[in-house]
Amino acid sequence: MSKNILVTGGAGFIAFYLAKFLAKNSEDKITVVDNLSRGRHDAEFSTFLNQPNVKFIEADLTKTDYYAQLENHYDAIYHLAALNGTKYFYEKPQEVLRVNILSLMNLLEWCTPANTGKLLFSSSSEAYAGTVKSFGQYENFMPSKENIPLTIDDVMNPRFSYGGSKLIGELLTVNYLRTKKIPFSIIRYHNIYAGRMGFEHVLPEFCKRIFDKQNPFKIFGGSETRAFCYVDDAIEATAAVMNSQKCDGEIVHIGKSDEEISIKDIAEKLCRIANFDCEFEIEAAPSGSVNRRCPDTTKLKLLTGFEAKINLETGLKKTLDWYLKKYSEMKN
């Protein structure tokens, strides 16, 4: 049976790949909402919008006038729109809180059992960024399961504007939708990467240094570890969570836990893939950045049967190729 699907933030990174993936089923109708504040109306997005089963609503989710453009009913709502990006956490913390909380609240206010089949809210590992630091016992929390306590260890640090907005978002989703009796799932993404992920994350920045042949190659931090998950795996996991009734009312971690790597090692790996020989210069990590992040994905596998498959080497190669091409186009 054909489905009506709403994807917010679809001009951005993950939701764009997700919307494209969902639109492959030509019977389904995909509506994408974005205000293009961070998302891009580039050639890839235009090509996607040309598909007959795709509709684009350019709207600001912090207002409510977009309600008039929505369909009467969505079987599935993927809410991924957010003000994301570490730079914004520090430079515009009040805007991060305003956009992330208001966008979600407006959507939750619109949802009724008659117009919404199920809603999925994309939270983040940043919602527990303070936990490991505050409680100290790494072995108890790593890799992190879904029941990890959510902690903000320093309200005065603007970085927690984002993690805080996701923590509040989880509370809003659970309590609004339980009250309204609408099925929901919450996912927490862990370091998703690929081409078209923007320019402010660590991997695009490393690709830029490779493009510029920066030598010595600067790294901020370096010893912190992350478990990166290629976007194709992340979106398949996202759809699997939406489509599994076992995930209703559940929080599920999405990521790839078996190739945890330090930032310095990933820089070296990228340079090796690019055949770029250089020295490394280590500078201090930004304040509030966590030392270790790695999801436990047992629950995802248990409830959906899905497990991330794309290894780091393959994902990094694709990402590097995309960015080197993009930087070269931008230069010309």
Residue 83 near ligand NAD by CB under 6 A: yes
The C-alpha angle with vertex 203 and arms to 200 and 204, in degrees rounded to 5, equals: 50
Q: Measured from the CB atom, is 124 or 173 closer to ligand NAD?
A: 124
Shortest distance (Å) from residue 123 CB to ligand NAD: 7
Nearest to 23, CA basis, from 37, 2, 42: 2
Give me the residue whose beta carbon is nearest to ligand NAD.
12
Q: Is there a cis peptide before residue 286, judged by omega within 30 degrees of 0?
A: no
Judged by beta carbon, residue 107 or residue 267, the one nearer ligand NAD is 107
Give the Cα separation of 214 and 316 in Å (integer): 19
* CB-CB neighbours of 330 under 10 Å: 10
Told to check if 11 binds ligand NAD by CB under 6 A, we report yes
Of 102 and 282, which has the nearer Cβ to ligand NAD? 102
Please select the residue that binds ligand NAD; options are 9, 163, 222, 295, rule is CB under 6 A: 9
Residue 170 near ligand NAD by CB under 6 A: no
Query: Could you check whether the bond before residue 93 is cis, i.e. omega within 30 degrees of 0?
Result: no
Per CB under 6 A, does 62 bind ligand NAD? yes
Nearer to ligand NAD, 95 or 250 (CB): 95
Smallest distance, ligand NAD to C-beta of residue 1, A: 28
Mark 225-257 as b/e (b = at least 16 C-beta within 10 Å): bbbbbbbbbbbbbbbbbbebeebeebbbbbbbb
For residue 12, state whether it binds ligand NAD (rule: CB under 6 A).
yes
Residue 82 is a binding residue for ligand NAD (CB under 6 A): yes
Q: Among 80, 101, 104, 266, which residue interacts with ligand NAD (rule: CB under 6 A)?
A: 80
Give the span between the Cα atoms of 124 and 73, in whole angstroms: 27
Residue 161 interacts with ligand NAD (CB under 6 A): yes or no: no
For residue 290, the minimal CB distance to ligand NAD (Å) is: 13
121-140 binders of ligand NAD (CB under 6 A) = 122, 124
Q: Report strand pairing: 225-226 vs 261-262.
A: antiparallel
Q: Is 4 in the site for ligand NAD (CB under 6 A)?
A: no
- Per-residue string for binding with ligand NAD, 93-122, x by CB under 6 A? ------x---x------------------x
179-198: which residues touch ligand NAD (CB under 6 A)? 189, 191-192, 198
CA–CA gap between residue 167 and residue 240 (Å, rounded): 23
Is the distance from CB of 307 to CB of 300 less than 8 angstroms?
yes
Stretch touching ligand NAD by CB under 6 A, among 48-56, 60-68, 240-248, 288-296: 60-68
Q: Using CA atoms, how far apart are residues 200 and 85, in angstroms rounded to an integer?
A: 7
Cβ neighbours of residue 34 closer than 8 Å, sequence gap 6 or more: 8, 9, 10, 11, 12, 15, 56, 58, 59, 81
Which one of 6, 7, 13, 304 is in contact with ligand NAD (CB under 6 A)? 13
List, in order, residues 6 or more apart from 102 with CB less than 8 Å away: 61, 62
Q: Convert 126-140 to b/e letters by CB count within 10 Å (16 or more is b).
A: bbbbbbbeeeeeeee
Please give the structure tokens belonging to residue 222: 């370096």
Asked if 38 touches ligand NAD (CB under 6 A), the answer is: yes
Smallest gap from Cβ 297 to ligand NAD, in A, equals 14
Q: Which residues bind ligand NAD (CB under 6 A)?
A: 9, 11-15, 33-39, 60-62, 80-84, 99, 103, 122, 124, 189, 191-192, 198
